[in-house]
Amino acid sequence: MLGLTTTERAQDLSDEEVLLRARREPWLFAILLERHQDAFLRKARSIIHNEEDAEEIVQDTFTKVYMNADRFEVRDGATFTSWAYRILMNTAFTRYQKRRKEGERFSALDPEFEQFIGEQKNHSGFEGQRDAIERILERLPGHFAQVLRLHYLERWSHQDIADESGESVGAVKTRIHRAKEAFRQEADGEESTLLS
């Protein structure tokens, strides 16, 4: 399998193998585009209902997948498709939020995406608190701000963060605990119960 030089032979590789090899052989990444672009575009269209936005979401998703390929690890239950799909959903959610802030209304959202949004906003008072939280997060060290954003604002589980970062779940929990303490100290005059 070493020294693949033809697309025909590369087509026999699994998605995970293609992603890992694409780090050294970037031309292989086109295989993942070919395999998944249409399905991802259908999903993005069902969420946003705008062709141009859907195309940008998919393009951004594949860019993130390629740029973060070294973060993906082959392990039980973690397939390329589930990992890339999560990136697609997060990218679509970011675009959806932007469009809502611009005053766009969405009707007949994809039921799966409605559930995803519900999970993202399941904090009481989420919308009103986000600006205050963001101000404080900007003052924290990057690794603390990132883990708090993922866990509390984007509602990633400890396991999801561990899978993405390559750390153990225990290490993630410890970092979240330390980040919460730093957050509380930084909040100083602001309401310190935002993340409790």
The structural domains of the chain, with segments of one domain joined by +, span 10-118, 124-187
Please name the fold of domain 124-187.
Arc Repressor Mutant, subunit A (1.10.10)
Q: Which residues contact 33 (CB under 8 A, 6 or more apart)?
A: 62
Which range is least confidently modeled, 11-20, 39-48, 94-103? 94-103
Indicate left, alpha or beta for 154 from its phi (over 0: left) and psi (-120 to 50: alpha): alpha
**Higher-scoring residue by pLDDT: 100, 195:** 100
Phi, psi of 78 (to 5 degrees): -110, 100
Instruction: Dump pLDDT digits (tens) for 100-140.
Output: 776 655 444 455 555 555 554 554 444 445 566 667 777 77
Q: What is the CATH number of domain 10-118?
A: 1.10.1740.10
Distant-in-sequence, close-in-space partners of 11: CB < 8 Å, separation ≥ 6: 31
Q: Which pair of structure tokens corresponds to residue 194? A: 């935002």
Asked, colleague to colleague, whether 10-118 and 124-187 share their fold, the answer is no
The identity of residue 130, as a single letter, is R
